Amino acid sequence: MGLFGGVQAEERSITVASTTSTEQSGLFGYLLPQFSKTEGIKVKVVAVGTGQALDIGRRGDADVVFVHDRPAEDKFMAEGEGVKRFDVMYNDFVIVGPKADPAHIAGDTDVVDALRKIAAARVQFISRGDHSGTHEAELRLWKQAGIDVASKGDWYREIGQGMGPALNMAASSNAYLLSDRGTWLSFKNRGDLAILTQADKRLFNQYGVMLVNPEKHPTVKAKDGQAFVDWLISPKGQETIAGYKVGGEQLFFPNASH
């Protein structure tokens, strides 16, 4: 172990349970080194769907959760699992699909109308099916469209995977899917896919952050976890989020309110 062997054990670190979209869009690769440099705290990210991220928090296996499904976040807070929830940033969802567009939804700014056309045409639609924030948003939109998820038929395919694999599958099978714009912009393997439906206010995608409650979970590193939350919503953190661009396009828009 040597004379300085104990120093490593003292290294400050936290675990953040977050979404695949924050990881696969490249945001964390850009953001976290800047936080660690400023605060001297390393961040280990567990990137899963929002539902799983919140469950990790419920088990006390993360110090912070950083997710995007407001109803699920409110439930987490109501259960006393989080200390306080803060808005951090937003982007939006888009429907991508093959450029040939057999469902004829291109340019449609009514997402519910677009989903009805996809269902009527029975063209391949890939669903993440992983209880992520994106999957839950997709299910709410199908419900608003009056289309029963359970009896959609074989054109609707749930894959139980993150945003990157879902995009890969859609690209390889020329299918439609709901994506967060951030992951889409940083996705290279687009094949014949393009954004077809966007700009409906129902596609707004808000992200929130919460420190896991240390009174319920004594292993939570409350001080360092709170330092991460405070940095994300600080002017510096917000400026860093705004500065992350892919191909000149900003992926996330900070909107922490103090």
pLDDT one-digit tens code per residue, 132-149: 889 999 999 999 999 987
Convert the pLDDT of each residue in 149-170 to its tens digit: 777 778 999 999 988 899 999 9
Report the C-alpha gap between 202 and 254 in whole angstroms: 19
Q: Distance between the two ends of the chain, CA-based, in angstroms? A: 46
pTM of the model: 0.85
If you average pLDDT over residues 116-128, what whole number do you get? 94
Query: What would the two tokens of residue 105 be?
Result: 């939804």
Q: Is the pLDDT of residue 206 over 50?
A: yes
What residues pair up with 257 in beta bridges, in sequence order?
none
| Lookup result for tokens 């699920």 | 72
Q: Decide: residue 84, CB within 10 A, 0-12 exposed, 13-18 middle, 19+ buried.
A: exposed
Using the predicted structure, report yes or no on whether residue 229 has a pLDDT greater than 80. Answer: yes
Strand 204-212 and strand 64-67: pairing?
A: antiparallel
User: What percent of the chain lies above the pLDDT cut of 90?
Assistant: 78
Residue 2: pLDDT over 60: no
At residue 189 the predicted structure's pLDDT band, cuts being 50, 70 and 90, is confident
Residue 1 pLDDT level (bands cut at 50, 70, 90): very low
Q: How far is CA 205 from CA 16, 66, 94, 166, 180, in A?
A: 20, 13, 10, 18, 8
What integer pLDDT is reported at residue 21 of this predicted model?
84
Within 8 A by CB and 6+ apart from 92, the residues are 180, 181, 198, 199, 203, 204, 205
Mean pLDDT of 34-46: 96
pLDDT of residue 8: 52
Task: Report whether pLDDT(19) > 50.
Answer: yes
Q: Please say whether the beta carbons of 201 and 109 come within 8 A.
A: no
